[in-house]
Amino acid sequence: MCGIVGYTGPRVATEVILSSLKKLEYRGYDSAGVAIVGEELQLHKDKGEIAVMESTLPSFEGGVGIGHTRWATCGRPSKPNAHPFTDCQGRLALVHNGIIENYAEIRRELLAEGHRFTSETDTEVLVHLVERNFEGDLRQALVKSLAVVKGTYAVVLVEKGARHIVAARKENPLVVGLGVGENFLASDVTALLDYTNKVLYIMDDEVVEMTPEKVTIYDPSGRPVQRRPEVISWSAEEAQKGGFEHFMLKEIFEQPEAIRNTLRSNLEILENGGLLGNAEASSVKIVACGTSYHAAMIGKYVIEKVAKVPVAVELASEYRYGTGAKEHPLVVLISQSGETADTLAAAREARRRGCRTLAITNVVGSTLTREVEEVFYTRAGPEIGVAATKTFITQLVGLYLIAMRLAQARKAMSVDELRTMRAQMQQLPQVVRKVLDGSSKVEEAADMLADARDVFFLGRNLNFPTMLEGALKLKEISYIHAEGYAAGELKHGPLALLDSRTPTVAACPKDHTYDKMLANVAEVQARESPVLAIGFEGDRDLAQVASRVILVPEVPPMFSPFPITVVLQLLSYYAAKRRGCSIDKPKNLAKSVTVE
Ligand code: M6R
């Protein structure tokens, strides 16, 4: 996730900006840059760590400036794509977090008008738009420019020879830090705490203008807003976690946003045939490890149902041992990091076998993106907790969209059916939000698991892999032994292990598996294993058979892995917390597994 900072005041702006940017490093980034206002704008940026950029930074003079750490989304991680960007005249410099959805169209227009671009980013259109609209009032020019932009932003601008900074926000965080004779601006308070703990949070569609002496916030109609500053009592570490106790919990709560961003930046690309052109694969193989493998398993059900294409799923570490006989023409490789050694090896092997390759990853420019022909980017933002949460849920979004794309190409769904599915997908952020709103109930229910030595997770159909993922989450962060099972397999062995000390978690959405799941729950309870059942709101029958019930918003059955996954993530989190585990860094595990 990109980081923004800004400063205006008597100090050396470069020093403030560098130290504040370093406080935002935890957000993840691949390049960094600064622009300092002097008689001319002084600009410096580079790919890689802030220290790399700093090592070649000239001693810029000036007390006004902006800085940025970039997490690549549109355009590779590279020096030209790093922020800030300047206009053609070198009069304005701008940094941005978010996505400009209609940038391609705006860029075409601006190119035709003679504007010169130096990067592949969506952001660069903003500075040229402001240049086009600038008639001496920077704030007015920004407001006019944002009126034609579709997307999300925290955007910050400085102007040659001026002491003010102008910024605006839509669905991306922006906070002003108030000093005495100086003012600050950043993506989060972490960057400000060395200088001030008095802050003003900027809200969606507001614009802010600040000088060393004054900060004015404007509402969408241009009227000044009166806002009382908040006093922050968090430590820097608490601030990085946005007030959450762990990164994992913060990332679980970021899922509505992550889903929305992934949909926003991919829906149109897919619908306009921008991926998998001539997508007529007669069969598909999906290859991945760990949590990404569970997403692949869910993807198999969805693609087969929606696009009517046979799908095989294989662990990346096993793929190399296959003979390649009757190879599937399309191989989809899933890796949130894009650096997992086994998945990279599988991508090379798939190409060696002559397959078309598509990666689903969260990291722009990762090694995997260079090993495949096409890439679908999830837009979860960096994930810091070792346990994959928001990256998993956005991988699901990716697989559902790819299923729609294949269905469209193969005419396996009518236009109306595709439209309905699109609308259902757009409801997912709200569905997940509602589950999160009920997190305290899940926290209470986690007591059922916290003292167990073993836990079973049961589901059927596409919730069989959902429960495999639930079991993986619990074991990796709480160190409780957990097994995911297809509920129908229970009688074929695991039933022998059930007793009153072995709780079971069961996915029971009202779909075609419901009656059988209910019978399985009764079967388990009969062995005295306490059952925690997850069902849809309005279900009164579940409580008759299960020890405890968590109800989630009803969704069309195909989408049930979304709300159920969120419950499972929260259950693991709260069980691990009760056991006092090191949740963000579980023992023996690494975020990125770069050895085979
Ligand atoms: O980066 P990848 O998606 O390729 O990582 C694969 C697994 O190592 C990963 O999903 C792992 O299972 C999760 N961190 C577990 O939460």
Per-residue pLDDT reduced to its tens digit, 26-77: 877 889 999 999 888 999 999 999 999 999 999 999 999 999 999 888 888 8
The CA radius of gyration of the chain, in Å to the nearest whole number, is: 25
Are 39 and 20 in the same domain?
Answer: yes
Residue 245: inside a domain, yes or no? yes
Which one of 391, 426, 461 terminates a domain? Answer: 426
Residue 154: inside a domain, yes or no? yes
Check which CATH number belongs to the domain holding 115 and give it: 3.60.20.10
Gap from CA of 290 to ligand 1 centroid (Å): 5
Question: Which ligand 1 atom minimizes the distance to the CA of 387?
Answer: 16
Residue 78: inside a domain, yes or no? yes
Are 273 and 170 in the same domain?
Answer: no
Dump pLDDT digits (tens) for 559-576.
999 999 999 999 999 999
Average pLDDT over residues 269-290: 82
Question: Which ligand 1 atom minimizes the distance to the CA of 391?
Answer: 3
pLDDT number for residue 581: 94
pLDDT number for residue 383: 87
Q: What's the helix, strand, coil split of the chain in %, to 5?
A: 40, 20, 40
Residue 163: inside a domain, yes or no? yes
Are 284 and 372 in the same domain?
Answer: yes
- Give the CA distances from residue 322 to residues 286, 296, 313, 318, 348, in Å, rounded to whole numbers and listed in that order: 14, 18, 12, 7, 14
Q: What residue ranges line ligand 1, CB within 6 angstroms?
A: 289-292, 335-337, 340, 343, 386-388, 476, 592-593
pLDDT number for residue 535: 98
- Which of the two residues, 189 and 520, has the higher pLDDT score? 520
Gap from CA of 291 to ligand 1 centroid (Å): 5
Average pLDDT over residues 209-238: 90
Q: Residue type at 132?
A: R
pLDDT number for residue 238: 77
Which one of 239, 267, 296 terminates a domain? Answer: 239
CA 65 from centroid of its chain's CA atoms: 29
- Which of the two residues, 230 and 442, has the higher pLDDT score? 442
Question: Which ligand 1 atom minimizes the distance to the CA of 361?
Answer: 3
Question: Which ligand 1 atom minimizes the distance to the CA of 291?
Answer: 10
Average pLDDT over residues 264-288: 82
Are the C-beta atoms of residues 531 and 504 closer than 8 Å to each other?
A: yes
Are 190 and 257 in the same domain?
Answer: no
Gap from CA of 362 to ligand 1 centroid (Å): 12
Residue 259 pLDDT greater than 70, yes or no: yes
**All residues at 6 or more sequence positions from 3 whose CB lies less than 8 Å from its CB, including other chains:** 21, 24, 25, 27, 29, 68, 69, 97, 186, 187, 188, 191
Are 235 and 245 in the same domain?
Answer: no
d(C-alpha 452, C-alpha 455), whole Å: 7
Gap from CA of 304 to ligand 1 centroid (Å): 24
- Domain of 442 in residue numbering reads as 431-583
Residue 48, sorted as left (phi over 0), alpha (psi -120 to 50) or beta, turns out to be left
pTM of model > 0.95:
no
Check which CATH number belongs to the domain holding 379 and give it: 3.40.50.10490
Gap from CA of 293 to ligand 1 centroid (Å): 8
Are the C-beta atoms of residues 463 and 564 closer than 8 Å to each other?
A: yes
Dump pLDDT digits (tens) for 526-549.
888 999 999 999 999 999 999 999
Are 86 and 160 in the same domain?
Answer: yes
Residue 594: inside a domain, yes or no? no
Under the banding of pLDDT at 50, 70 and 90, the label for residue 12 is very high
Q: Which residues pair with 507 in a beta bridge?
A: 534
- How many Cβ atoms from other residues are within 10 Å of residue 525's Cβ? 18
Alpha helix segments (H runs only) across 272-379 = 290-307, 316-319, 341-352, 367-371
Instruction: Determine which residue's CA is closest to atom 11 belonging to ligand 1.
Output: 290
Dump pLDDT digits (tens) for 118-176.
999 999 999 999 999 999 999 999 999 999 999 989 999 999 999 999 999 998 889 99
* Ligand 1 pocket test, candidate residues 336, 363, 592, most atoms within 8 A of CB: 336
Residue 596: inside a domain, yes or no? no
Question: Which ligand 1 atom minimizes the distance to the CA of 340?
Answer: 4
Instruction: Determine which residue's CA is closest to atom 4 belonging to ligand 1.
Output: 335
Q: pLDDT exceeding 90 applies to what percent of the chain?
A: 79
Q: Residue type at 357?
A: T
Gap from CA of 596 to ligand 1 centroid (Å): 13
Under the banding of pLDDT at 50, 70 and 90, the label for residue 364 is confident
Are 201 and 321 in the same domain?
Answer: no
* Ligand 1 pocket test, candidate residues 289, 315, 376, 479, most atoms within 8 A of CB: 289
Gap from CA of 258 to ligand 1 centroid (Å): 17
Instruction: Determine which residue's CA is closest to atom 12 belonging to ligand 1.
Output: 290
Are 393 and 464 in the same domain?
Answer: no
Residue 591: inside a domain, yes or no? no
Which one of 239, 257, 272 terminates a domain? Answer: 239
* Ligand 1 pocket test, candidate residues 298, 340, 473, 583, most atoms within 8 A of CB: 340
- Which of the two residues, 324 and 104, has the higher pLDDT score? 104
- Go through 573-584 and write b for each residue having 16 or more CB atoms within 10 A of its CB, e for each that does not: bbbbbeeebebb
Q: How far apart are the first and last CA of the chain?
A: 28
Are 387 and 488 in the same domain?
Answer: no
For helices 415-426 and 428-437, what crossing angle results, to 10°? 30
Gap from CA of 568 to ligand 1 centroid (Å): 17
Question: Which ligand 1 atom minimizes the distance to the CA of 343?
Answer: 4
Instruction: Determine which residue's CA is closest to atom 10 belonging to ligand 1.
Output: 291
Average pLDDT over residues 182-187: 96
Under the banding of pLDDT at 50, 70 and 90, the label for residue 279 is low
Instruction: Determine which residue's CA is closest to atom 8 belonging to ligand 1.
Output: 290
Are 150 and 263 in the same domain?
Answer: no
How many domains in the chain?
Answer: 3
pLDDT number for residue 28: 79
Under the banding of pLDDT at 50, 70 and 90, the label for residue 512 is very high
Residue 593: inside a domain, yes or no? no
**All residues at 6 or more sequence positions from 526 whose CB lies less than 8 Å from its CB, including other chains:** none
Are 397 and 497 in the same domain?
Answer: no
Instruction: Determine which residue's CA is closest to atom 2 belonging to ligand 1.
Output: 335
Structure-token pair, residue 180: 């005495």
Instruction: Determine which residue's CA is closest to atom 5 belonging to ligand 1.
Output: 335
**Residues annotated catalytic, as ranges:** 2, 591
* Ligand 1 pocket test, candidate residues 287, 292, 314, most atoms within 8 A of CB: 292
Residue 21 pLDDT greater than 90, yes or no: yes
Are 416 and 465 in the same domain?
Answer: no
pLDDT number for residue 281: 77
